[in-house]
Amino acid sequence: RGGPRREDIDTVVFSEVRGHQVIDLHTHLLPPSHGALCLWGIDELLTYHYLVAEYFMTAPASISPERFYELNKKEQANLIWDALFIQRSPISEATRGVVTTLLALGLDAHVKSRDLNAIRKYYDKFRGSGLSGTSTFVEKVMAISGVRYAVMTNIPFDDTEIRHWRPRKKDYPATFRSALRVDPLLAGDKETVEKALRAAGYGISVADAEKYLHDWCDTMQPEYMMASTPHDFIFLAPDGGGGPLASVKKRGLNEESLKVPFAFTDLSANECSGCEETDNIPTIINERSVFLDCLMKVCEERNLPLALKIGAHRKINPGLLAAGDGMVAFADTASLARLCSTYPKVRFLATFLSRQNQHEACVLANKFRNLHIYGCWWYCNNPSIIHEITTMRVELLGTAFSAQHSDARVIDQLIYKWAHSRAVIANVLVEEYKKAISSGWEFNRKEIRRDVSMMFGGAYEDFMKKAL
Ligand code: RAT
Ligand code: ZN
């Protein structure tokens, strides 16, 4: 068949992985037309929340988080550069990422001379030409990182972001796609939901919340709905099956009650009529349930997947703001299984923060055809853990998963996130191909290209369009 021999497989796999245009299925990037919300440049890179957290591990007591956040971006970046790149060596994943990025942009000499101001000057050239400079830079990064398109995180509960969609939707390049973020619904955050509905002139009934979601879907045309679940997220199937309305009824609501304002206190009072098994469920779960029902109903009606990021405990050290988020919570995978079986017509994309959840996650993906596992998230996004998780996924799922997403917040990060992940994932593939070759299978280059394409976006696109 003329395929690569065992000893050549490395070269072939690495070149295929390097040359493949990936789909980045979850980022926090926003397009240049979103103005200041489109983050790029060295000061944004250096003040990434991973680096702020790393900085505070050894920062002097005189620099409290409050003081730090009072400084402007450039001053914050100076502190981090000095602490993590001059006083120490950039060998953590997040610091090394800055080095990889700068070198790929051709800034070798400035990196070598540790010249932060010269690096800033490089970026100033793009900034000097306003929106077109930003667009040029974004295109350059997309090309270097080999990203076909990046899915954004678009939040219809965020005033600053909303302005870029309404009254007139800003144009953005096809390299950006939308995802509609709905965290307040999963958190049962009634205050945020009410505030957003009122500000947009809606009422505050469940039906209004539903309409709000539909209207935003019309505006954003999202690929999927998405949320990071609260660390203690639990989904209890109302009746072991059935659609959203069935679950509402089971909680003692009727269709009429969908029209009245969401009064959770009243809800918890009447939730048990005709529903013994919810007797011991804490009120909070019922508060969240009403919004979840509403969300699932919209997902079903619009055939929109729900992407979940599961297992982050927020505000562990609130003073650090975003850098204080994210203690790793061991999550209840059974809740995901119950979601998949309660809503068999809804597609779920899921990733877990805890290394401890990864094995169960693979097994679940193997059981539910409406579940797709993606990426190595945040504290799992380190080469050693990516290697471990990806190996396990290939062993259990073949190529039916998405190996990575970047979670980039700063455009430039696409470069290092994808370069680092490609290297690890290519190594895993080489190891797995070698095993199959030892078993007697021969691969040709076309087949290798197909497999690479699956793991870097093809499996995602197949999942998004498969009939359920
Ligand atoms: O990985 C991260 O950057 C986290 O801060 C989270 O925002 C996470 O990615 C999320 O989307 O919730
Ligand atoms: Zn994210």
Domain CATH code at residue 93: 3.20.20
pLDDT tens across 169-209, in order? Answer: 999 999 999 999 999 999 999 999 999 999 999 999 999 99
Residue 379 CA, ligand 1 centroid: distance in Å: 10
Q: Is the pLDDT of residue 105 over 80?
A: yes
CA-wise closest residue to 223 among 464, 466, 467: 464
Q: Is the pLDDT of residue 433 over 50?
A: yes
pLDDT at 262: 62
pLDDT at 354: 96
Residue 183: nearest ligand to its CA?
1
pLDDT at 281: 44
Residue 201 CA, ligand 1 centroid: distance in Å: 30
Q: Is 284 domain-assigned?
A: no
Q: Is the pLDDT of residue 216 over 50?
A: yes
Closest ligand 1 atom, residue 228 Cα:
12
Query: Higher model confidence: residue 205 or residue 246?
Result: 205
Q: Is 223 domain-assigned?
A: no
pLDDT at 289: 84
Q: Is 98 domain-assigned?
A: yes
* Boundaries of domain holding 312: 6-179+305-465
pLDDT at 388: 98
Residue 263 CA, ligand 2 centroid: distance in Å: 31
- Ligand 1: which of 233, 309, 380, 413 to mutate, most ligand atoms within 8 Å of CB? 309
What share of the chain has pLDDT > 70, as a percent? 89
Q: Is 347 domain-assigned?
A: yes
Contact 37, 427 (CB under 8 A): no
Instruction: Lowest mean pLDDT of 239-253, 318-332, 344-358, 437-451, name the range.
Output: 239-253
pLDDT tens across 13-29, in order? Answer: 999 999 999 999 999 99
Q: Is 279 domain-assigned?
A: no
Q: Is 56 domain-assigned?
A: yes
Q: Is 26 domain-assigned?
A: yes
Residue nearest to atom 2 of ligand 1 (CA): 378
Residue nearest to atom 3 of ligand 1 (CA): 407
Residue 378: nearest ligand to its CA?
1
Residue 268 CA, ligand 2 centroid: distance in Å: 32
CA-wise closest residue to 339 among 399, 390, 299, 377: 299
- Cα–Cα distance, 122 to 173 (Å, whole number): 24
CA-wise closest residue to 414 among 140, 183, 208, 182: 140
Residue nearest to atom 9 of ligand 1 (CA): 407
Q: How many domains does the chain have?
A: 1
419 Cβ neighbours under 8 A, 6+ residues apart: 100, 104, 145
ipTM of the complex: 0.96
Q: Is the pLDDT of residue 113 over 60?
A: yes
Q: Is 220 domain-assigned?
A: no
- Cα–Cα distance, 91 to 93 (Å, whole number): 6
96, 259, 328 from 310: Cα distances, Å: 26, 31, 10
Q: Which residues line ligand 1 (CB under 6 A)?
A: 228, 309, 322, 325, 378, 407
pLDDT at 256: 62
200 Cβ neighbours under 8 A, 6+ residues apart: 212
